[in-house]
Structure formats: C-alpha cells, structure tokens
Amino acid sequence: MNALAATNRNFKLASRLLGLDSKLEKSLLIPFREIKVECTIPKDDGTLASFVGFRVQHDNARGPMKGGIRYHPEVDPDEVNALAQLMTWKTAVAKIPYGGAKGGIGCDPSKLSISELERLTRVFTQKIHDLIGIQTDVPAPDMGTGPQTMAWILDEYSKFHGYSPAVVTGKPIDLGGSLGRDAATGRGVMFGTEALLNEHGKTISGQRFVIQGFGNVGSWAAKLISEKGGKIVAVSDITGAIKNKDGIDIPALLKHTKENRGVKGFDGADPIDPNSILVEDCDILVPAALGGVINRENANEIKAKFIIEAANHPTDPDADEILSKKGVVILPDIYANSGGVTVSYFEWVQNIQGFMWEEEKVNNELKTYMTNSFKDLKAMCKTHSCDLRMGAFTLGVNRVAQATVLRGWGA
C-alpha cells in the first residue's frame, strides 16, 4: 500500500470513529489547490534546461498551509499528496495554527552546480510567489534542500513583497532562522519517547535503542537519548550498519560520521547486515529514514516492545496489524516527528514579532507542546478505545473538521 492509500485509509477510519458526515469527509480529503509550473533555466554551459515545479496545498481551515520543498529526481504525485495531507493532521495534532502543504522540483540536486540550484530556486519562486505568503503558505526545507534554499526563496519573494523573513522557515540564523531548529525533530522524538515511556512507568535511562537512519533526525535523537542515559545498541545509515550490545559511544560516532560521511568503519562497534537493523534485539526501535521499511515481510521478526516513528510513514498497515497483535506499542509519525514543524512555527512567530528567542526558551516551549499533545492524544485513545495511531488521527482530523464547520465551510 503506497503512502497516499495508507494515509487515506487512516483518515477514513478516524472519520468513522468521529462520525463525520460523508460531505464533510470528502471536503477534508480534497486538496485546496495543486500547482504545477515549468521552470526553465540557463545551465552553466549556456544550454537551457527545463524542470517541473509543484506545490500541493491541502487545507487552510486552521491557518496558513505549511510543508517542505524537496528537490528529488523522482517526484511521485501520490506521495506529495499524502505528505501534504499528513501535514494537515500533524499540525492539528501539535495544536499549531497551520494547515498542510508539500512541494518541490523534479531534479537531481547532486547533478546541478550551486549557481544552477540558485537560478532554479529563484525561477520557481517567481512562478509561485503570489500563491505562497506569510498568511497563505509557508514553505520549509525537505529532501535535497536546506537553509540556503530557503534564503534564496526569501530573497526572491522579498523582491515582490518587501522583506518578509516569515515567508519560509528553516532559514539560516543570520536571516531570521530560529535557534534550536536544527535539532528540533530529533529533540521532539526524545520528548515524545519520554512521554510514552512515562505512561508505561519507565524512563529513557537504561532502555536499549536501535536507530535506523543517522541523518539529521536520527543523529540528534541518538545524541539526546544517550545524554538521558538511553543505550544505543545499533545504528544504520546509507553507508552501512553497526552494533555494540554494550552501547555505542554516540559522541565518538558523531565525530566519525562527520569525518567519514557515514557510520561505516566506526571502530567502536561491529559491522552488521543493514537489512537486519530493524530486527535487532532492543527495547525501542526508532525508524528515522525512509517510509515503508516495516512491512508484513519483517514485522513478525521485530523484537522491540516500542516503535517510535521518527520517519514519515515507516510502518505500512499490514505491519501495523501484525505488531498490534504482538503487543508492540507504536508512537505514530504524525505525533512523534512533529518537533520540526513545531519549532518552524516558533521561527514564524519570532519573525512576525521581530523578536528572537534564546535556545533554552525554544527547547522548553517544544517540550510543553510535545507533552500537551501527548495528553490530548491519549484522551482521544480513551474516548474512542483505539491505539495511538488512531488516537492521533482522530485528534488531528477532529480539530480540522471543527475549524472547517466553524468557518461555515461544512458542505
């Protein structure tokens, strides 16, 4: 089942639990707007190259739409639609005043020079500048993009609308980016894990973790979890996988990955088959890489008691069913990885106020939001006698449905 089918399925199950009427259900599913633009740029060698840029704006009942811009050669329209929809529910679960969006450009950033990427970003911004905005749609970085991409969008947008730092988030600090944004998703994963374990009478300290994916989210989660006394026993990334049953020295591994661009060759752990990472013996499994990695083929082999979904859609519905029967508790992605968008919201707020916060305030506010969201999520689980995934979906869908009806948009 692809990401869109799985997201639609979860939405429909939540809608039934909430008793939404079919007209409202249909209006909540249909995207507000889908944009597709041609972006033609001169390459460094003087030839012209054309790329397709796109933006799916899913829902704006609760506020401006929010979501990443990715640069990737294979852009699947279904996946983009699913991710835009997920952002609608994720921002509602986090109780921040946004709706969902997603977009990007079909290109391979590794094959373009910095100046070509800049030209491409500026042309894309020229094509969509009147469809995004501080109170309309606020983009952020995603796969293949980063703070520099956001800086180019901000500059190009500002040529049309005046200096507008709040039009994008995930910016460099010197252009109004927020302190704590880099670590935000990983820190949110840690706060979410704390909240879940607390519910089960446990703490992070002494628990054995396996982390699949050691990019921004996985590496920050590993660092912060190990600082809380958690034992990281295995880690993987695109270069390979490593294991040390006594716990990996995370500061040493971070130094190694910075110097060697991956976990491969780290001498403080033994190399293992990357395909076995998800089924290694541990208490808590953190998939922090790609979607669909936990499926019916490997779900029966998983030994973890808890799964924290740091990636988007890492567990497919078949695996969900198998794991649920085994008694594995899954903390769903639309809550577990919402730390990033929550701190993006803080960045937007700081830009609008023209008043920047200290990093300690950012982290404290994030903890408050993650803790409160977990309480709201658990209350929905109790009301509807459902698991955490359905608790999160019913919470998010209910908030968007309420806003839609209150604004008089209920079909």
Residues making up the binding site for NAD(+): 185, 216
The Cα–Cα gap between 198 and 318 comes to 28
Which residues fall in the annotated binding site? 66, 90, 185, 216, 344
Within 10 angstroms of residue 391's Cβ, the number of other Cβ atoms is 26
The residues, ordered by sequence, that sit 6+ positions from 138 with a Cβ below 8 Å of its Cβ are 64, 65, 66, 98, 132, 166, 167, 168, 169, 344, 348
- Whole-angstrom distance between the N-terminal and C-terminal Cα of the chain? 30
Do β-strands 48-57 and 99-106 pair in parallel, antiparallel, or remain unpaired? Answer: antiparallel
Q: Residue 307 in contact with residue 328, Cβ under 8 Å?
A: yes
Given phi > 0 = left and psi -120 to 50 = alpha, else beta, which region is 164?
beta
Secondary structure letter of residue 262 according to DSSP = S
Give the residue numbers marked as catalytic.
102
The helix/strand/coil state of 214 is coil
Residue 242: what are its φ and ψ, rounded to 5°? -135, 155
DSSP 357-402: PPHHHHHHHHHHHHHHHHHHHHHHHHHHT--HHHHHHHHHHHHHHH
Instruction: Return the amino acid letter for 50.
Output: S
Question: Directed axis angle between helix 184-199 and helix 216-227, to 10°?
Answer: 50
Q: Which of 272, 279, 274, 273 is nearest to 294 (CA)?
A: 279
Opening angle at CA 194, ends 231 and 299, nearest 5:
70
Which residues fall in the annotated binding site for substrate? 66, 90, 344
Q: Residue 401 in contact with residue 18, Cβ under 8 Å?
A: yes
Stated as kind and residue range, the H or E segment containing 250 is helix 250-260
The Cα–Cα gap between 124 and 115 comes to 14
Question: Directed axis angle between helix 184-199 and helix 359-384, to 10°?
Answer: 40
Question: Directed axis angle between helix 22-29 and helix 3-18, to 10°?
Answer: 150
User: In this structure, what token pair is assigned to residue 98?
Assistant: 């946004």
Within 10 angstroms of residue 18's Cβ, the number of other Cβ atoms is 19
The Cα–Cα gap between 238 and 410 comes to 46
User: In this structure, what token pair is assigned to residue 363?
Assistant: 């982290």
